[in-house]
Amino acid sequence: MKISKIVEILKAEALTCKDKLSDEVISACAADMMSDVLAFVKDQAVLVTGLCNPQVIRTAEMMDIRCVLLVRGKRPDATILDLAEAKGIVVLCSPHRMYVACGLLYKAGLCGGEDCV
């Protein structure tokens, strides 16, 4: 799924790397604990989280996660945005809660973890 489609589905705002909205993601991971994200082995994913700190971007970089979706209208500070921009990671902000965001993405065909073939 193109990141631009995620923006459309979730009424999200792209905060970084707007030139990468045509990039594809193949799966999704939702977590607020970055140790759970590290256990998620899929690359080219979108990370759905309510955690809003630089560690999210560092974890995304380590796991080849292309897009971080902050839920519940969370707004990252300049430190997080600058780091994401430098690492080439798209940061999106959506007003939806995590459960709803995940449901909408799943309904639209984005798989998660072992569901991906």
**CA 88/CA 17 separation, integer angstroms:** 6
pLDDT score of 113:
65
pLDDT score of 114:
64
| Torsion, CA 11, CA 20, CA 84, CA 57, rounded to 10 | 70
pLDDT score of 104:
97
**CA 115/CA 96 separation, integer angstroms:** 23
Mean pLDDT confidence for 56-68: 93
Q: Closest by alpha carbon to 86, among 104, 60, 107, 112?
A: 60
**CA 3/CA 33 separation, integer angstroms:** 23
pLDDT score of 53:
95
Domain boundaries, the chain: 3-109
DSSP three-state, residue 14: strand
Q: Judge contact between 79 and 57, C-beta under 8 A.
A: no
pLDDT score of 85:
97
Asked whether the predicted pLDDT for residue 74 surpasses 90, the reply is yes
Output the CATH code of domain 3-109: 3.40.1390.20
DSSP three-state, residue 2: strand
43 vs 104, which has greater pLDDT? 104
**CA 86/CA 81 separation, integer angstroms:** 9
pLDDT score of 78:
97
**CA 113/CA 85 separation, integer angstroms:** 26
